[in-house]
Structure 1
Amino acid sequence: MTDAVTNPLLAPPALPYDLPPYGRIRPEHYLPAFHEAFAAHRAEVDAITAQADEPTFENTLVALERSGALLDRVARAFYTVTSADGIAEIQAIEEELAPLMAAHSDAIQLDAALFARIAEVHARLDQLDLDAESRYLVERHHREMSLAGAGLDDTQKARLTDLNQRLSVLTTTFEKNLLADSNDLAVVFDRAADLDGLSAGELSAAAQAATSRGLDGRYVVTLTLYTGHPYLASLTNRESRRRLLEASRSRAARGNAHDNRDVLREIVRVRAERAALLGYPSHAAAVLADQTAGSPDAARDLLRRLAVPAAVNARSEQDALQKTADADGIRIEAHDWAFYTEKVRAERYDLDRAALRPWFEAERVLRDGVFFAAEQLYGVTIAERHDLQGYHPEVRVFEVHNADGGELGLFLLDLYTRDSKRGGAWMNSIVAQSTLRGTAPVVVNNLNVNKPAPGTPTLLTLDEVTTLFHEFGHALHGLFATVTYPHFAGTAVYRDFVEFPSQVNEMWILWPEILTNYARHIDTGEALPSDVVERLHASEAFNQGFATSEYLAASWIDQAWHGLAVDEASADIDVASFEAAALADIGLDNPVVPTRYASTYFAHVFSGGYSAGYYSYIWSEVLDADTVEWFRENGGLTRANGERFRHRLLGVGGAGDPLAAYRDFRGRDADIQPLLERRGLTD
């Protein structure tokens, strides 16, 4: 029996802000709830298309926006869990659900009768008295259904549906394989001496990870999603560094049951065939046709423009590292880069970033840094709700209020790594804001910070501090977007614009009023010394050749795979050789500077939403760097500046052209010069 009495997912929302009742939800509740929600949504759409009345904005577009509320609620609750606590039962459900979800989505997006009604409203758009958001809603639905294949004939639609279902299975398999192989490849060390250079907290986390795996007395270092593990900067034992990087780079490419090479090759083939069916020469062309970039050529031109000076800078940095390594009789290899980078940084700037961790205690960074910046800039208040429960015991729930005391939404934080959580860091929306549906936003940030032993404080690296501020920028976007229609809620913007607000939020990390408030020594309470802050600023462009090169390399691999035509993608491609050729093509084939993600663990593009879109980070950073200049020119951390940024950009959500919103905020288009200067690419 699957009704509202026995299945909490089907009961009307009863918790504040419609937070899912995770304390009552069990894995066996999800599939029945999805089946119920699929049927309800199908019936709602059928009711729209069965009307004899002429299509209008109200009876077609508004009705469509009202439909699917149950499915939206169930899906957001479930997919939050799949990425953050994907235990075996959840993974099995996700595999079964993937083709069903794809088939349902296609049934709606490819519905000929629905598309005909929307097309009729779209044809009369200039005759309708609609506000700007409503007009944009008509335009977006018409364009998205067109791009999805709604105009194809029945045979083509059937093939498209098959391809989409196959892709849903493949991308789920890719993520499952990656999680399993990452867990299997966590590096086990027998002695604390093997991990010399780690802090007491890091060593504690490694011991705790070993204990949780039944390896008492040993040490386990789990792998991060990206290639370079943060511990590579600290480990004095070269063999330990080598083992750690080797494990990272071999993920899902070892010829075992979790090998992703065949999976990703088929993903590429299927995406290319789908693009051809839709009338595009490649998957990249299909994706970028509906992004701010407009075409793969625009994105690739930017990548090539940046790659040349980035590679030159990386070689220069490598030469500097080699001079220091010569004293140790070492020829620099990839696993040495981070370690010797910190040595050179210390020599040039008298700066040991690892030694800064006592100033970055996680709770203080969160409350007196991340939250404090938002409070100062936007006037919001954030308070923990201990009475509300997340999907895992480690998830914390906070309520956010506006400056006038009005309720805004909920923010959930899931800080620590665990074997059931995928790598990386991300934000997602559990409940989407919509005045039409009467819903307020509920958003969650996930990170993968190593959890120390009980009673030991969590001390963050500067990179982890940056990630916390970055992801909260996404959260603010999700909280502040105020739209009528759920289609535009939160971060539902173009993929190559979505990273912009999160990158802007990173600016407050070293902003004087913010830094002095949160960067306090864990033992003494003393502020981070001013001379250290000055050296941090002085070293901001340091190692940017490496950082830019590894990022651009991954972006180019993404473009290379997804730029293949269907006949090219159907060839028997050797993954390693393909990657090597792609990196040589853009001049980023330096073996000492490996790509941030290799194909077999490139989850962003093979199991996430960034396929043909990993360029988005640098594309958005053009806007970000230009916005930071605007804040500096206009007084920095002020409520007036915050209100302007909130209402003219963040508050728009997806309800308008993002570049038009940027021009409204900035007064002009973005200038690339601040980005070039930030990354040391001006010479």
Structure 2
Amino acid sequence: MTAELDAENPFAAPSTLPYGLPDFARIGEEHYRPAILAGMAEHRAEVEAIATDPEPPTVENTLVALERAGRLLHRALTAFFNQSSADSTPGLDEIEAEIAPLLAAHTDAIRLDRRLFARIDALHTAGLELEPDTAWLLHRTHTAFVRAGVRLGDDAQDRLRELNAEITSLETTFGRDLLAAQNAAAVLVTDEAELVGLPDDARSAAARAAAERGHAGAWLLELELPTQQGVLAMAASRALRERVFRASVVRGAGDDHDTRPTLLALARLRAERAQLLGFPHHAAFVASDATAGSAEAVAEMLDRLAPAAVANARTEAEELAAALERDEPGAQLAPWDWSYYAQRVRAERRSLDDAALRPYLELDRVLTEGVFRAAHELYGLTFTERHDLVGYHPDVRVFEVFDEDGAGLGLFLGDFWTRDSKRGGAWMNNLVEQSSLLDEKPVVVNNLNITKPAAGEPTLLAWDQVITLFHEFGHALHGLFSAVRYPSQSGTEVPRDFVEYPSQVNEMWAWHPRIVAAFAVHHVTGEPMPAQWVTTLLDARQDGEGFATTEYLSAALLDQAWYRLSPHEVPTDPAQVDDFEAAALERAGVAFALVPPRYRSTYFNHAFGGGYSAGYYSYIWSEVLDADTVEWFEENGGLSRANGDRFRASLLSRGGSMDPMEAFRDLRGRAPQIGPLLARRGLAAVAA
């Protein structure tokens, strides 16, 4: 590694673009590797100066100095990892594989530096009178070093370094193989008769995808990350539904993109690392630093919810089976039938289905008249598209965000369409993190995976995609509203089982009648969605909650099962993955074949490729806070500036500058209660 970096490299100096937006017009693949290597070298030199400072440790020369260090590396990595997840190339994959173990070693070199920790520990034990955010920074920094293993002996630290390097490399391998497996599993259709039920825009997108892969005259159904695929709710052909479903559930289980050896190695290595750090298993290690506090608390919640969820799903299955029987006497309901007949039953009961809704849910209008309008009514925000600023891909749109007083708040980048180079799912990234210490304002990105229509055609959404758009923008607001001093406390830098809370709260505005009336407009006629349909949507919110809760809990419990193992308990043969998964679901009481987990192990990117290992429970843990907060909004008049300003001031603006549960109590006036979640999920039996 060298600290020398060509001055012409776009990362050599902070970007001069508005808000420090990376200069993607200048950035090429060739710039990332030298910038990252130089950034690591520069950061190590800065940390060495802090660790060897002859002056006694102070907040300024130790804590604040650490917050200021590593800016070149940070600039390069935020841009690199954003691009490698949203628009990967073979070249970027090579760089990621090379730097992953180097970054792990770099982090270890800092977090395992006993000289540096001695300075932090001296501050921690000195009983200093500090500002609340600085006191919390000191607490969290000290905790991070201890959890990283700084107090271990030399031999244990050496093994820890080896483990961290291997784990980081395997995470990269899992993500790369999963993306390849997902692309390879796309279902090719050569007979248009099989596409009955699919709307014209979906067929057009499938035809374009097929042509792009050399199958002109055919249709290619590309897979989404979860088990359930959107096409399963629309395709009338039972044979096609089965083909798509089976393609979905076998991803990563064999062939050229087998993820099983990687996931087993990850489970084993994480288990060994947890024991080296003094924990019985990886799940305990993760939960101990989250708001849950312990793996036992996580298990108690999941185990409490599972029986009632499965019971609700079985009741739903009976109704769907009866609908299938009317179509095909003697046919047995299968998992690939669920979404299709759930739509049929809802259409019969509610006189409404996704096919009827989609023409009223055009992406641009949902974004501007839905997501942005809600943010304006709640917080006074306005948005201006900046066509003069470019993103990392031609599909990326850049918006400048203004506060009510006209002051620029930051930039919001929207990258909504799917492509072969983008990993599945939806997520938020930071390109620049707000910090008054560094005088930086936020630049945030939302990524979705909506099928791109043919040129000139509208992007029409399913209702679930509308909810996802609002959800991810909730993360964006958490980043945009950050008003903290230290960069490590900015925006979404909060515990994993708290980070989903603000985004889940933001989903509520997708259902608000005034917001729905603004965005739900027919993309051709301009007619508003019929008022009775809006009422029906609201009435139908609990439809299918048995299925939704069971498939989610199955995945969360599967994640916990893998990470409650000791190293010697992890299977050694990839062929054992299916058996382990089946046994884990059976023990947890969620083994219901008609409702498979939202993610099976071989394509469970949250657990093996992303940052949610032993943390997938976070969504429903956060939903306790979310449902309680939705109740608070409703008790106080709902969609209003007063409520928005209170939520922003009490919670969104504080980022990770304080104990997150204290921030919640400041808002709610008490600790969270589970009752609102049980009511929302139709789990009243749990409370009985």
Q: What do the CA deviations read for 1:341-379 (whole angstroms, capped 9, x no partner)?
A: 111111222221221001100000000000010011000
Give the Cα–Cα distance (whole angstroms) in 1 for the partners of residues 13 and 670 of structure 2. Answer: 49
Query: Aligned match of 1:666 in 668, 682, 685?
Result: 668
1:627 aligned to 2:629? yes
Contiguous gaps of at least 5 residues in structure 1: none
Q: How does 1:461-500 map to 2 (within 5 A)?
A: 461-500=462-501
- What secondary structure is seen at the aligned counterpart in 2 of 1:327? helix
Give the Cα–Cα distance (whole angstroms) in 2 for the partners of residues 387 and 4 of structure 1. Answer: 27
Aligned to 2:142: 142
1:190 aligned to 2:170? no
Give the Cα–Cα distance (whole angstroms) in 2 for the partners of residues 658 and 92 of structure 1. Answer: 38
Give the Cα–Cα distance (whole angstroms) in 2 for the partners of residues 650 and 162 of structure 1. Answer: 38
The letter of the residue matching 1:520 is: V
The answer to whether the 8 A contact 2:264-2:572 is kept is no
The letter of the residue matching 1:242 is: E
Deviation at 1:7, TM superposition (A): 1.1
Give the Cα–Cα distance (whole angstroms) in 2 for the partners of residues 425 and 343 of structure 1. Answer: 27
Aligned to 1:218: 218
Aligned to 1:234: 234
Q: How does 1:39-54 map to 2 (within 5 A)?
A: 39-54=41-56
Aligned to 1:553: 554
Deviation at 1:192, TM superposition (A): 2.1
The answer to whether the 8 A contact 2:513-2:534 is kept is no
Aligned to 2:308: 309
Q: What do the CA deviations read for 1:545-568 (whole angstroms, capped 9, x no partner)?
A: 000000000000000000112221
Deviation at 1:133, TM superposition (A): 0.1
Q: How does 1:191-340 map to 2 (within 5 A)?
A: 191-253=191-253, 255-329=254-328, 330-340=331-341
- Structure 1's 570 and 278: CA in aligned 2 closer, same or farther, altered over 3 A? farther
The letter of the residue matching 1:660 is: E
Q: How does 1:246-645 map to 2 (within 5 A)?
A: 246-253=246-253, 255-329=254-328, 330-569=331-570, 572=573, 574-645=576-647
Give the Cα–Cα distance (whole angstroms) in 2 for the partners of residues 157 and 19 of structure 1. Answer: 38
The letter of the residue matching 2:208 is: Q
- What secondary structure is seen at the aligned counterpart in 2 of 1:23? coil
Deviation at 1:513, TM superposition (A): 1.3
The letter of the residue matching 2:163 is: L
The letter of the residue matching 1:433 is: Q
Deviation at 1:4, TM superposition (A): 4.2
- What secondary structure is seen at the aligned counterpart in 1 of 2:206? helix
The letter of the residue matching 2:585 is: L
Deviation at 1:203, TM superposition (A): 0.7
Give the Cα–Cα distance (whole angstroms) in 2 for the partners of residues 414 and 621 of structure 1. Answer: 26
Give the Cα–Cα distance (whole angstroms) in 2 for the partners of residues 535 and 641 of structure 1. Answer: 27
The answer to whether the 8 A contact 1:373-1:514 is kept is yes
Deviation at 1:87, TM superposition (A): 1.1
Deviation at 1:53, TM superposition (A): 1.2
- Structure 1's 81 and 288: CA in aligned 2 closer, same or farther, altered over 3 A? same
Give the Cα–Cα distance (whole angstroms) in 2 for the partners of residues 620 and 11 of structure 1. Answer: 38
Q: What do the CA deviations read for 1:431-451 (whole angstroms, capped 9, x no partner)?
A: 111111111110000000001
Query: Aligned match of 1:90 in 65, 88, 92?
Result: 92
Q: What do the CA deviations read for 1:167-211 (whole angstroms, capped 9, x no partner)?
A: 111010000100011111111000222111111111111011111
| Matched length | 680
Q: What do the CA deviations read for 1:519-573 (whole angstroms, capped 9, x no partner)?
A: 0111221211111111111211111000000000000000000011222136557
- What secondary structure is seen at the aligned counterpart in 2 of 1:257? helix
The answer to whether the 8 A contact 1:186-1:223 is kept is yes
The answer to whether the 8 A contact 1:4-1:11 is kept is no
Give the Cα–Cα distance (whole angstroms) in 2 for the partners of residues 208 and 355 of structure 1. Answer: 24
The answer to whether the 8 A contact 1:110-1:148 is kept is yes
- What secondary structure is seen at the aligned counterpart in 1 of 2:441? coil
TM-score (norm. length: structure 1):
0.98
**Two-structure CA RMSD over aligned residues (Å):** 1.1
The letter of the residue matching 1:60 is: T
Give the Cα–Cα distance (whole angstroms) in 2 for the partners of residues 236 and 259 of structure 1. Answer: 31
The answer to whether the 8 A contact 2:5-2:38 is kept is no
The letter of the residue matching 1:502 is: S
Give the Cα–Cα distance (whole angstroms) in 1 for the partners of residues 104 and 366 of structure 2. Answer: 40
Give the Cα–Cα distance (whole angstroms) in 1 for the partners of residues 536 and 395 of structure 2. Answer: 36
The letter of the residue matching 2:580 is: F
Give the Cα–Cα distance (whole angstroms) in 1 for the partners of residues 29 and 367 of structure 2. Answer: 31
Contiguous gaps of at least 5 residues in structure 2: none
Aligned to 2:171: 171
The answer to whether the 8 A contact 1:481-1:652 is kept is yes
The answer to whether the 8 A contact 2:571-2:577 is kept is no
Give the Cα–Cα distance (whole angstroms) in 2 for the partners of residues 263 and 146 of structure 1. Answer: 28
Q: What do the CA deviations read for 1:285-339 (whole angstroms, capped 9, x no partner)?
A: 1111100000111011111111000000000000011111111222100000000
Instruction: Please say which of residues 413-422 and 340-349 is displaced more in the overlay.
Output: 340-349
- What secondary structure is seen at the aligned counterpart in 2 of 1:121? helix
Deviation at 1:129, TM superposition (A): 2.7
The letter of the residue matching 1:134 is: T
The answer to whether the 8 A contact 2:282-2:563 is kept is yes
Give the Cα–Cα distance (whole angstroms) in 2 for the partners of residues 369 and 601 of structure 1. Answer: 32
Give the Cα–Cα distance (whole angstroms) in 2 for the partners of residues 528 and 150 of structure 1. Answer: 59
Give the Cα–Cα distance (whole angstroms) in 1 for the partners of residues 100 and 618 of structure 2. Answer: 26
- What secondary structure is seen at the aligned counterpart in 1 of 2:215? coil
Give the Cα–Cα distance (whole angstroms) in 2 for the partners of residues 404 and 285 of structure 1. Answer: 46
